[in-house]
Every structure is written in structure tokens, then in C-alpha cells.
Structure 1
């Protein structure tokens, strides 16, 4: 069985771009022709986090379909105009399906999808769709709930450091879910956030981690993609939670667990639909119940009670018995946003733009 794997550089794509006329007819995968599937990553596949996990999903597609598919990827693609150029070039070079894997790729993906109606597009973490553009994401905030439970059990300073990328709802609700869960166990706990305005910048992430530890944080969380915060935690003797994949190798003592994104089943399913002609646009938001979000193994050095509480919470969220934003939930001003007996609806989660009680500082505008 032959499997073709390609890493496309942006310069190579530019050199090989062809006109859209080549795709003037609706895409149909013929038995003799492999379906060309492209992936666009915001970071390097060696980030050991977000892009790494998406690329594992790409490799799972190759393993599942063999010579029926031909996959390629472009890494380190900046959000904005550069992304539009890369996505368009994939569509114009015979790719029948393109996955774009960062929030900032949303508008560029939509523009290119309109330009190439016969190519199938899938965009991760966005909300804009079209007849040939679907969206998908994981309920990562569920994993932040579990992280909050662990942090509440192990902190001695009651100060948690949170290294955040961009102030978009996905990141804000993660901070909120973590803080709500942690403060239900330890009401004195406070969360300090440092915004680095990057998904992947090991230097900035490390500097933020060091600054937070210097300010008293003895647990570090991150919504950034490099293992730098885990390494700082290991060096400074504090605890941490990995992002997107198991990062325990970078901090065997510090790493409590990680919120793992498992994209492989989704990619296999959607590529299969493209192959058999059953693909349709739509939105997928999977959590613990779907397996799209998982927790890495808990560190053996964690208190048994902490692990027990974490495991019970995973089971309760999976079954629907518990929600990450069960009321009462207050915002920073002390105003009740979610009354007791209620929980935040998906529409509110998708647009969350406020800090919960216990988060210090002001949310960037």
C-alpha cells in the first residue's frame, strides 16, 4: 500500500499554483485518483501541542485510507492575508479538501471557500460556514474544569498563573471554567493572567511563566502551544497542566495532566464522507462524551483525593450530570451571571467576553 506524504512550504505552493479552472467541475473522488487533502497549521508540527495534535490526525487519515488519499500540510502560517494566500494555493493545486486549524484562519477560509465552490473546507474553532465550509472544535473548557480541580487541591499560595494567547471567547471561557471549578474547592484561590498575543512563542511563554512564578503562582496553566511553561514549572518547582497534548516529558514532576485534543476520529470520519460523497456542511463541538477532548494520565505525585475528584468530574461532565458553568457563577463585579440551578448555554459560551469572579486584572478589549 502506497502512502504519499508531502510537506508543502509556502514558497513551493506559490511556485506550483494553478488557475481555478482546473476545479471548474464539482469535486468527485474517482477510484483511480487519490483525494488530495491539505492541512494548514498556525504553528510548527513540532510544537508538541496544538499543531502537533492536528498533524497526528492527518497521519491517522493516511493510515486509515492508504492510497485513496494524498495529504499535505503547511506549517507556521500567519493568521490574516498570509493564510488566505496559502489556503487559496492549496485549493488551486488540486486539493479536494482543506482543513484550516486556527481561529484566525476563519475569514480567509470563508473567502477562499467562496472562490472555490467545488472544494470542501473545514475550519477549526470558528463559526462561519458555507455550503462547502464546515466548522469543528473541541470543548476544551471541560478539560480546564478538571485542571481547576487539581490546582485547587495542590496550591499552597492560592495564586494560579495563566498564560493566555488571545482574548477570544475560546480562551476566555477556558479561564472561566478553570477558575469556577477551582474556587468551588478553594474560594481563596486567585488567577493571574498574562496575555502573550501569540499561539506559539516559546520565549514569550517562558517569560510569562517566570513572571507569574515570581508573583507567587505555584500552578501554571496555559492556552498557548509550546512546552516552555511546563519546562519553567519543572525548573522552578511548581505544578503545571499541558496544552493540547501530553507534555509530561518536559516536566515529569511538574506536569499534573494535560488537556488532550484528539482530532483523528473526526478527520477520519470527514475525509471518509468526502470519499463516499456524503459530506455536508455543519458544526461539530465535541467534548469528553465524543472523545475529542481527553485528559492525559494524572501524575502519580498528585494527592489521591485530587485524582478521585478529577475522575468523578470527568464522569459527571461526560454523562451530562455536571456542566463547567453550573450556577451560581458571578463575574468580577460580584454580579450573578448564571443563577443557581442553571448553566451557561452554548450561545453564551461561544461569545463569552467577561472574567468570572476570582480572575485578577482587566480583560483586554
Structure 2
């Protein structure tokens, strides 16, 4: 039998960019007074599980990241969402898009697209954003029936502090949790040990073994590595109704406009280093189409896709040893120190390189403008 646990404590909804810090009290109390806040205004947590990630899990993460987006509002609010159907519909939290009709959606390859809020609930912290630019893409697999169980291994994806597609690992540490964060009521929640932070709100919780979406990351305990995720099966019928028949008028959330807070986002340097890391992740996965899409149009004009891909024919794997970012005016110069396994005359050799990448915005997207590198061992100069 499921055991319902009411978190009876001070609860508050803290939203980056615009929100409320209202306090809600419940009579029954747990042993210690704790505070729960929407996952948009807490410092990032580090995943303490440093064990090597299995290859199968790496594949799930890589493929899933392409379908997880960052959502931005004009007031600076930042959250996450994920593609759940082929109409371009993105599921997120209601508190992420509250009081907004239009938002900006940023994909993993830094493309910025407009999105329209087509459904949002006043009671359940769930909303749907339709993004025409994502129409036709295959969505994330969704677990439509059944629930996760205690100690199931999970992955939490999102954009904490604007650091897009951050992934943390953990377990289902509790089930059937109930809490209130005005104006929302949460019940049957998963309690998770995977660290979640500002910007994770609305991101997917995945089954680590299958890659299926099992929940929507929504809240965390203040100062604790305990998060809460809404089971996707509980809200899917409501979400699908909005996709079939978008709401003609959206509910308002005046209680979420009482205070304005400073946006919390990743710095330009952090976003630039993420871009280079994602570039090499794509190369390692053999996804040269994605890697090529991350480079600037001027680089693409000088190098065709076939030429770009042929440059990696002899590369077996690449690991990033260190990334150093140096902001300069309108761009960030990222120096990557990498180790590559390459085939040379039929033999596998390990080589180390230092590669420099200027990163800057191009047509609303962050791009790698060019690349130049040298082999550290013999200092031979190479142009990418």
C-alpha cells in the first residue's frame, strides 16, 4: 500500500526573473522544519556519484539531450522542457511560463525559436509550449503507464543556472509524496536523490535503463539534495487535451508577480565551454551532422560537410582533459586540451592536442567560429 507523506512545512515558490516568496503553513509537521521551493532559485549541486557512466547510459543521455530545451521568458525567467510529440509540443512546469503567452526556446545546438503557451494549469504545475520549429521531430519516449519504484535509477536533465542540458544521476528515494507550493498542489510525487537546481524546472526525469520519461522535475528541499518530480503518467491526459485543443485563454497567476528577482543564468564563458564539450561529445558519438551544425556559417562555407567528416576518419575517440575560457569583447575564446586515439599507418596511437575555438553569437545562435590547434607532443601546427 502506498504511504502518503504530507510535507508540512514552510513552502515557497521562488522564480528566477519574476516570482513570489509567499509562505504557506500546514498544521501537521515532519520531524524537522524544511523548506520546499520550485527548482529555479537554489545554488547548483554536484553529483557525488563519480563512478564511470556505462556506455548504454551515455547513449541515452546523448540522444535525450537533443530533445530537451531551455525556456526563456522576456523577464529573465529560465526553465527547461522536453519534446513529447511530433507536433513540436514541449512539456514544462506551469510556474516556468506563468503569465506568459509567448516564450523563447533554445535547443541543444543553440538555435533560438519562438514558442506559444497552449496550455497551463492553475492547480497542477504543468504547462505545454508549442514550438513550430520542432514540428516533425521524433520526441522523447514517454512511459504512459505504471510508476517508478523505490531505488529505481534515474537521470535528471535540464538547464540549471542556464547551463543547458546538465545531467545528474540518482535514485527514486521516495514515492507518493504530497506538498503544496502556492498556488500549486503536488501529490503522488517522486522523491529523487538526483541533484536538481535553478533552471531544472520542467526538465525530464528519465529511467536510467530505458531512457523513458517518467517524471517532470519540479521542486527541491532547500539546502538538501532531495528533489521532487511529477509522474508523467498522472498529467499526460491533460497535456494531450491541450495538444489536441489549445486553450483559448490562459489563466493568470497574479500571486507570482509580487516580487521581481534578478535572473540567474550561466555566464557566457560557461555556455561557451558547454558548446565545445558538446561538439566533442557529438564527435565521439559519430554524430557529425550535429557537430557540423555547431560551427559557424563562415567555417561551413570554407569546409563542406564531407571534408569536415573526413577529417575525423582516423579518430577513434576524443576525451576533453580541460577547457579554459577567456571572454573577449563579443566572443569567448575557449582553449581545449584533448586526448585523441587515432589510427596511424594501421596502428592505434594516443595523441594530445591544444585547440583554440572562438565562440560567439551568429543569427541568434551560439556558434564555434573556427578552430586551430597544435599537437602538444611535437608542437606541429594543424588547422581544423
**TM-score, normalised with respect to structure 2:** 0.25
- Larger fraction in strand: 2
- Larger fraction in helix: 1
